[in-house]
Amino acid sequence: MILQETSSPASVWNNIEGIAYGGDYNPEQWPASVRLEDLELMQEAGVSFLSVGIFSWALLEPAEGTYHFAWLDEVMDNLAGIGVKVALATATAAPPAWLVRKHPEILPVTADGTVLGPGSRRHYTPSSAVYRRYATGITRVLAERYKDHPALALWHVDNELGCHVSEFYGEEDTAAFRAWLERRYGNIEALNAAWGTAFWSQHYGSFEEILPPAVAPSTLNPGQQLDFQRFNSWALMDYYRELVAVLREVTPGVPCTTNLMASSATKSMDYFDWAKDLDVIANDHYLVAADPERQIELAFSADLTRGIAGGDPWILMEHSTSAVNWQPRNQPKMPGEMLRNSLAHVARGADAVMFFQWRQSFAGSEKFHSAMVPHGGRDTRVWREVVDLGAALKRLAPVRGSRVESRVAIVFDYEAWWASEIDSKPSIDVKYLDLLRAFHRALFLRGVSVDVVHPSAILDGYDLVLVCTLYSVTDDAAANIAAAAAAGATVLVSYFSGIADKNDHVRLGGYPGAFRELLGVRVEEFHPLLAGTQLKLSDGAVSSVWSEHVHLAGADAVQTFTEYPLEGVPSLTRRPVGAGSAWYLATFPDRDGIESVVDRLLEESGVAAAAAADPGVELTRRRSDDGRTFLFAINHTRSSATVQASGAELLSGQAFDGTVPAGGVVVIAEG
Ligand code: GLA
């Protein structure tokens, strides 16, 4: 028998029954009497999982080497007593005042040289050796103290790494950037080649000459900008790994994660890359109250999170019960919206529903942020909805561990996002997410599930693959996408895809270099549109943002531009490829135009909605290993809607009668 020398951490799910429920718990803000009441209320709400101690460092270690653990011991014991599991934080997301006073060099520095001071949170740079020494120190002390505690189920490492500040320009950051570049390129001439430094006399003689791309008279080297993005994303994860190394040593069986912020608003961290170091994917998501289609942005965030998780169940680590405090106007959630939001995340693969935070603060800058226990206490709509949600999640226990069914993939790449939005491109109106989200929206409205996947993901099993403004791409990823078409998928590639390689060097010989052959087109010149301009297309559709001079080279034109100087030039093409096809979209159609392209693609690929339903009903299906399926139907309208499905409705425990109440949710165990 071969004995394993290293043990891998247990799955967090082994420790939790059903769909986990809870939130951030900050008991240090409250007296003992309130903490006792918390235990009762948690049981009333059905809480099973809490993140504890995220911002507790200054109270746990009030002076260097002096520790006050009594309050946290009591909290952990009490939570264990009521069967609640804990994601215990490393407490490192806000360094204490004594540490800043002793070592101000840990503070982050911005591009213009401003030092970001204390009095808030996240005031450290991840490349500070001193900060890492202190952060690993408190992490080790916490791990040693609670390693055998029955409540401990997961390590919550730091908090939202890269939130508030995600680019670091201090001296230690510069040194770390140089070291990272040296490891990446080996020698300075390789860097010169990658950055194209023959341009504008930018050649470097040694790594010591390199600075972060801060402020300069004109546009900065794109290779330098791209590598600085990569470096910062790496530096945050490198810091995470150093904390995790301590946790692995002391508590090898306890899984570790950190809460991501995957959504349309977070660009700076390559979460597909980060996922390799997380034992379970956890995400935080906040609705933008002013967005009338906020449920679609939520769906996009959840689909992206599932993609980052490789399709595995994930933790919704934070969302809000009602209003937040950091948008310009903080509208509360509408009645029933919290249930719809929570179950939309579950519908899209979350097996844990958690909030910021358990009890609404009475002091501090987040006192007007909603929580599970509002300022008004139990006699409030929010509390009643929190209790109802706890009961609903209990009834969804059978869903735990099942996976979302999807035959459509949208390719998503943080590197392409970064590269495509570096300055000096053909048009500032090409924003990486715009077209991608327009397709996601059209599919959402049709009740078609979409996996948001990395370009290197295994694409077998997808019947429709969408590649939107994937400006930069590796040869391997381009081949992966082409192989999907050859194997039978309908693949659509849009304008401004496959233009550059990973060094942001243009692929020569006609655009879109990486996909020219697959698509059977050659683009000679870009014709981005002026602001506010629209184009008419041959089938009556209207588009904006982009047009270009496309030549057919094996593809057929499906639709053409109609206006000078591109009259008759293809705007949409199709080429049969192996068992599938490759479509090329050379412009950004308006909503109706996108929907009609999507309808054609769905028809060709044979992909249909998860069920037939009235408009306004969000649909997804989760399938368990043993073949049971669960259809989620979320009615975003204010009138009742019908869905054609049959089976037991898990939330009511009754047979599904074909109706989803206004603003309501049903989860049907089909069959
Ligand atoms: C983030 C943080 C939390 C809290 C919430 C408020 O998600 O992780 O500590 O500040 O925002 O929305």
What single string gives the DSSP state of each residue in 187-235?
SHHHHHHHHTTTGGG---SSGGG---S---SSPPPHHHHHHHHHHHHHH
pLDDT(6) > 70: no
CATH architecture for residues 617-670: Sandwich (2.60)
pLDDT(49) > 60: yes
Query: Residue range 397-402: average pLDDT?
Result: 98
Which residues contact residue 317 at a Cβ distance below 8 angstroms, ignoring those fewer than 6 apart? 51, 87, 156, 259, 282, 283, 284, 352, 354
Query: Any catalytic annotation for residue 385?
Result: no
| Identity of the amino acid at 359 | R
| Identity of the amino acid at 203 | H
Query: Residue range 57-67: average pLDDT?
Result: 98
pLDDT(2) > 60: no
List of E strands, 201-332 = 256-257, 259-260, 282-284, 314-318
pLDDT digits (tens, 9 = 90+) for 174-202: 999 999 999 999 999 999 999 999 999 99
> Would you identify the CATH topology of the domain 408-605?
Rossmann fold (3.40.50)
Give yes or no for residue 302 CB within 6 A of ligand 1.
no
pLDDT(211) > 90: yes
pLDDT digits (tens, 9 = 90+) for 117-164: 999 999 999 999 999 999 999 999 999 999 999 999 999 999 999 999
Give yes or no for residue 463 CB within 6 A of ligand 1.
no
- End-to-end CA gap in the chain: 45
Query: Residue range 457-463: average pLDDT?
Result: 96
- The catalytic position among 160, 172, 415, 618 is 160
Sorted by where each begins, the domain ranges of the chain are 13-166+236-401, 408-605, 617-670
How far does the centroid of ligand 1 lie from the alpha carbon of residue 121, in Å? Answer: 11
Look up the CATH superfamily of 13-166+236-401.
Answer: Glycosidases (3.20.20.80)
pLDDT(47) > 90: yes
pTM of the shown model: 0.98
How far does the centroid of ligand 1 lie from the alpha carbon of residue 118, in Å? Answer: 17
Pairwise CA distance, residues 562 & 559, whole Å: 9
Confidence of residue 7 (pLDDT cuts 50, 70, 90): low
| CB neighbours of residue 449 within 10 Å | 23
Give yes or no for residue 159 CB within 6 A of ligand 1.
yes
* Three-class secondary structure of residue 354 per DSSP: strand
Give yes or no for residue 369 CB within 6 A of ligand 1.
yes
- Residue 187 to residues 193, 207, 224, 476, 521: CA-CA distances in angstroms? 10, 8, 15, 25, 38
Query: Residue range 329-353: average pLDDT?
Result: 98
pLDDT digits (tens, 9 = 90+) for 92-123: 999 999 999 999 999 999 999 999 999 999 99
Nearest CA to ligand 1 atom 5: 356
